[in-house]
Structure 1
Amino acid sequence: MQLKISANFVELYLNQTPCGLGPLAALLFGIKMFQEKILYVPSVDGQKRSNQNPVNYRSPASRNLKFTPISIKHDSIELKGWFIQQEQPTQTPTLIFFHENAGNLGYRLDYFEKYYYNLKCNIVAVAYRGYDESSGSPNQIGIQKDAIAIVRYVFTNLEIDKNNVFIHGRSLGGAVAIYAANFFQDSKKEKIRAIIIENTFTSINDVVNDLVPNLRVSNLLFSRNQWRSCDTIKNIKLPILFISSGQDELVSYNHMKKLIELSENCQNKREYHIVDGDHNSNWMKDEGAYFQNILLFFQSINN
């Protein structure tokens, strides 16, 4: 994670440069100027697009999953993604998945495949601007606009049960999910049933403070990309399933714990805590239990 690398560099500089205020100011100014480059990681190992991945990680077709390509044009950009559909897409729930930070959609195919077969649901996965084949460059305001466009596309363009739509966001996607849920929760047209938030953070500022406790200007460094879910989640009334990990190496469990506490207007919330789970592969610790908890959440909403 580029943010963690940058934070470690700043901490090293603070510890070893007691009088270097000029160079330090230049360093911090550089971080502020290029905060989007530090925070967002569309490419992993030089593979930005799914079609550059190994064959089995390029599209749902490589897993024999029925799908339709998605193209959403808005805000002078084009978003690309997939509608992975069950044989009878109008007879099953539809999941809007807001993806994590690093990498393209193809590297999430293992996860999508398990989700598809375990939950028997449709999956909508669209890359944010600047990720995978989507055009543009990532930033908080832009990704928030993308989330709105994706949800509206689902309700306007797809042949699904419009009364059975869920949102699931992991890591960065959790912040996107919280934003989208708050935006649409009172909508009469785009009715979201519930949301799942997994291994996400209270705010970017809090993540930076975890990584570099002595850096007192972190709120200024990432001023354009604060992602203050700690504020937004207070407004959400929709049912929420919190999936958290006890051994998360990137986002401390304290973030998820705090978000649960702050979701004071949510009358139907539950937590599935994976004691030995890490940030990205927690679902692999006990795949059966992981998807069973999501299924039980779906069923509790539909009963």
Structure 2
Amino acid sequence: MTSWLKAAAFGVGGIAVAGLATLVAFQERLVYVPVLPGLPRAYPVTPSRFEIDYEDVWLRSSDGVRLHAWFLKHSPPVAGPTILFFQENAGNIGHRLDFVRMMMQRLHCNVFMLSYRGYGASDGHPSQPGITIDAQAALDHLSERGDVDTSRIVVFGRSLGGAVGSVLAFNNPDKVSALILENTFTSILDMTGVMLPFLRFFIGGSASNGPKILNFLVRSPWSTVDVVGKIKQPILFLSGLQDELVPPLHMRLLYEKAAEKNTKCLFVGFPDGMHMDTWYSGGDRYWRTVQLFLEQNVPRMIDGKLSSKDEDEDDGRDCLQRL
């Protein structure tokens, strides 16, 4: 072998070794980013800045970690659903208040926002097992509140939050009435190949090819694609087709997996939507899609009967198909 080929081989090997060392040592910092670079960990704003009626909620997860959350109450009180919102991996719930304020205005709902362990004012350090039981603690709290219609709890997760919400919905078919996923990945295993392409052949989920001999190194696999196919509740998939972080194909694969056995699945793509702004760039169509999905799958009970729509209103299913 010529000297330059040997040098190239050693160079590639060195890069691979360095990449593996980085993955092993810093993977949690890649998956979970509680503090945005250059910003403090504290919430940048609270709901009071937006004149939203809210309650500070303190919870204990099953392993004893102290968690913080906000319960945002629609004013005036309405009979809408309560949405349990799980955020992306970076920043804290204070960075999502613009979105949640719009959600409350357009959907006439209450919203419960949980700070994962290690995020915001919550104690502990983030991990997949830890965040999974954090989400359960939040749902259990909502299920015990007297001011929540427990038959109308909807889980909404974006990106990492979609992975969290999928596990929660699967584990609680009797407590979660519907699931909404936005720009969520098939798995962190698959995302490893997106973030570190030279590892694509060695690390991957069920949506990837290759021997996957290094999967054991990934401590937070969050294999959403293996969970959605088991969920029985209605699922709405909201996909930003210009997503620059999670390839839009991931959302399509999640939908196809879920739809194999679940007939109450809907996929809606937004041509201009990027990872964080799909709700904004999607405009009225985005909110109308969510509203109709909720009307169709989380109907309101009045005197023990499902509420009926106005006679001149289009059937919700037909409207959703046209969106």
Q: What TM-score do the two structures reach when normalised by structure 1?
A: 0.86
The change in CA–CA distance for 1:99 and 1:278 in structure 2 (over 3 A counts) is same
Partner-residue secondary structure (3-state), 1:235:
coil
* Aligned residues of 1:48 and 1:104 also touching (Cα < 8 A): no
Match of 2:177 in 1: 193
Partner-residue secondary structure (3-state), 1:195:
strand
Partner-residue secondary structure (3-state), 1:83:
strand
Query: Which structure 2 segments of 5+ residues have no match?
Result: 1-6, 205-213, 300-305, 307-323
Superposed CA deviations along residues 118-156 of structure 1, whole A, max 9, x for unmatched, are 100000001101111111111111111111111111111
Out of 257, 274, 279, the residue aligned to residue 278 of structure 1 is: 274
Counterparts of 1:141 and 1:109 in 2: how far apart (Å)?
Answer: 26
The change in CA–CA distance for 1:158 and 1:70 in structure 2 (over 3 A counts) is farther
* Aligned residues of 2:273 and 2:282 also touching (Cα < 8 A): no
Counterparts of 1:104 and 1:63 in 2: how far apart (Å)?
Answer: 17
Give the superposition deviation at 1:29. 2.8
Alignment of 1:289-300 (within 5 A): 289-300=285-296
Match of 1:64 in 2: 51
Match of 2:30 in 1: 38
Counterparts of 1:169 and 1:27 in 2: how far apart (Å)?
Answer: 30
Partner-residue secondary structure (3-state), 2:106:
helix
Match of 2:137 in 1: 149
Out of 145, 166, 171, the residue aligned to residue 178 of structure 1 is: 166
* Aligned residues of 1:194 and 1:240 also touching (Cα < 8 A): yes
Report the AA paired with residue 272 of structure 1. Answer: V
Give the superposition deviation at 1:266. 1.5
The change in CA–CA distance for 1:23 and 1:292 in structure 2 (over 3 A counts) is closer
Identity %: 35
Give the superposition deviation at 1:285. 1.0
Counterparts of 2:103 and 2:49 in 1: how far apart (Å)?
Answer: 16
Partner-residue secondary structure (3-state), 2:222:
coil
Give the superposition deviation at 1:22. 5.6
Superposed CA deviations along residues 141-181 of structure 1, whole A, max 9, x for unmatched, are 11111111111111113521111110100010010111101
Report the AA paired with residue 261 of structure 2. Answer: N
Match of 2:207 in 1: none
The change in CA–CA distance for 1:135 and 1:34 in structure 2 (over 3 A counts) is same
Superposed CA deviations along residues 3-26 of structure 1, whole A, max 9, x for unmatched, are xxxxxxxxxxxxx96304367435
Match of 2:3 in 1: none
Match of 1:269 in 2: 265
> Could you say which structure has the larger radius of gyration?
2
Counterparts of 1:34 and 1:45 in 2: how far apart (Å)?
Answer: 16
The change in CA–CA distance for 1:90 and 1:115 in structure 2 (over 3 A counts) is closer
Report the AA paired with residue 171 of structure 1. Answer: S
The reply on whether 1:29 has 2:16 as its aligned counterpart is no
Match of 2:231 in 1: 236
Partner-residue secondary structure (3-state), 1:218:
coil
- The alignment covers a number of residue pairs equal to 279
For structure 1, which segment, 152-161 or 126-135, has the greater mean C-alpha deviation from structure 2 after superposition? 152-161
Counterparts of 1:139 and 1:114 in 2: how far apart (Å)?
Answer: 30
Give the superposition deviation at 1:239. 0.2
For structure 1, which segment, 219-228 or 259-268, has the greater mean C-alpha deviation from structure 2 after superposition? 219-228
Query: Which structure 1 segments of 5+ residues have no match?
Result: 1-15
The reply on whether 1:226 has 2:218 as its aligned counterpart is no
Out of 115, 118, 121, the residue aligned to residue 103 of structure 2 is: 115
The reply on whether 1:47 has 2:39 as its aligned counterpart is yes
